[in-house]
Chains A and B, each alone.
Chain A
């Protein structure tokens, strides 16, 4: 796995600024079954953080606790302390609508709404009342699509349905949709798993460009991808956070044998 080490080592390590989100002793249950036990993790403001691990290890479940998407699952129960800029997001005073405006999410399968490209991007600003008038909305839509690297491809057909785009374009549309409400954190749940290599490369390039502007957390099955896009990597196994650190360190010099076994392809 020398290639992985090279890729990870080539990443310039960004100096740590204060953590954007902190999680402390988080447990997640689905009914009786415990899916996450005792996970503590800090997500940096300037970083792309990758969650890796075998299927069913709880990395997506943990990601969904960060914007309370687990609230939509009736049987899910979250314990512990998760803070965004020091504010407990599971506190009663936290409004989940505002939380999700601040912590956006991109899903595994592109899920544009069956509306026009324009309306897909305008959806968030509209429900949060971010734009005053058509001109301002046009601006938000254009800026978001530009940041998502989709503007040049769709600027002449904003009225066409978002579902008519290709898979990779749809995923970038979903990223534009998330960006449009100007979030602070973007969660990406295996955003490339339904895409071909070329579309995947475009998304990874996009993640590079978005880094610094937004704190990004990405769940991925693809270790090369984790090595390529992230500065910090967390390895989950069976609901436990096994190891968390600099991506280059995880891939070149893991402390735990389980991490080493996983990244060298021993299991997973």
Chain B
């Protein structure tokens, strides 16, 4: 009998508790009596929760603890005394014995495993039975206690509501705690990086060449961690080229869809635009690398500009296309939020539709649009797949959009791909880059949400 089976049994007990508490509570609502505080099913949930939750909590704890107890019991047995003292051999035997004991395998390389297997099996079943007995005891005791508290005045509803609230709170806390965990792990690894490389060099250095010499006699591989070229590449692709594409196109499509498009056209145009947001970025990556990049290189060479296949322009253009739905849907929302009265007022003055848009709607919607653009920028600079596939690896500080630049995300992928040792600055640099990226996008998001919120307050 495994712990999972016990858990199922406990849940079964909970069902029994639910039914019996319900039946008992149904009898509270006798004619002539004051109305009971809670419904029968709320009493049922109250008793069932008391039956199931403490027992399950015990089982989870027991699952964590019993492994150690089983191990020490096996170690204390006479059969274990003949084991090799250290090393791979010893743990291999133990693992095989464990696999034999639980039935996960039937054969073993080490003969000692067969002698140890029954000992293991015995220990496992001993502790499982203890777990079973204690879990059932807890389930019965807690269930009976809850059952004994039932009365017409008992406020089962309030308590069950509190459990529901607690569950929902826990669900939302998981996301927040995960974020905190990510920050802590980033901070920790970044701190290790900054203890080897000075933050000043990292943040302000102009030279990025993270290859480190493995042996002292290798030449030219001292490693340079000036991240400015990466920051520039990220801004050049994500915040400049992509936004030059996405802001006008997104804004204009939002204006067309909200102000000019016939309802029928809007009804199928808007979902199509939203599909664009659902295309996996790796597909955009193919498009950028295979279709756009060669075309742009040829264009650059025709114009007589030094051009590379992995140009900033190719990655930036495709990223801009990818971002259009974000800008357009935020702009759409904020233009639609401008009261109809404002539009009517302008039209009634004899303004044309385009004058109304230019002079009234867009200025009134501007904070929302700006918020949308900031969110889009934060999305663009964190975007990885397109730049990994279409932007280069050369850390150039250049203004030429036909030249190759590299971005923070590309370098993180580069630094962490393959087998890595986690004590060299080369690998740890990825965490420092990740931390910078995280802080920048976090700041952008906070500012964007502030702007959007402030704007919403103006009209409600």
Contacts and interface: CB of A to CB of B under 8 A. Distances in A.
Interface of A: 67, 69, 72, 74, 96-101, 104-105, 107, 109, 111-115, 123-124, 127-128, 163, 174, 177-178, 181
B239 to A, nearest CB: 28
B345 interface: yes
By Cβ-Cβ distance, the 8 closest A-B pairs, closest first, are A100-B350, A111-B341, A105-B348, A101-B350, A111-B345, A124-B349, A97-B350, A127-B351
Contacts of A181: 349-350
A39 to B, nearest CB: 21
B364 interface: yes
A72 to B, nearest CB: 6
Interface of B: 262-263, 339, 341-352, 355, 359-360, 363-364, 458
A69 B348 contact: yes
B352 A97 contact: yes
A74 B458 contact: no
A181 B348 CA distance: 11
A67 B344 CA distance: 12
Nearest to A75: B263
Given A124-B349, A127-B351, A107 B344 contact: yes
A251 to B, nearest CB: 30
A72 B355 CA distance: 15
A124 B351 CA distance: 8
Nearest to B352: A97
Contacts of A98: 350
Nearest to B263: A74
23 contacts: A69-B344, A72-B344, A72-B347, A74-B262, A74-B263, A96-B350, A97-B350, A97-B351, A97-B352, A99-B350, A105-B348, A107-B341, A111-B341, A114-B363, A123-B346, A124-B350, A127-B350, A127-B351, A127-B355, A163-B458, A174-B345, A177-B349, A181-B350
A104 B346 CA distance: 11
Given A74-B263, A109-B341, A114-B363, A69 B347 contact: yes
Contacts of B347: 69, 72, 100
Contacts of A96: 350
A206 B346 CA distance: 22
Contacts of A124: 349-351
A107 to B, nearest CB: 6
A145 to B, nearest CB: 16
B348 A100 contact: yes
B336 to A, nearest CB: 15
A105 to B, nearest CB: 4
Contacts of A113: 342, 345-346, 359-360, 364
Contacts of B364: 113-114
Contact of A127 (B345, B349, B363): B349
A104 B359 contact: no
Tell which of A67, A104, A127 has the most Cβ of chain B within 10 Å: A127
B349 A67 contact: no
A111 B342 contact: yes
Contacts of B350: 96-101, 124, 127-128, 181
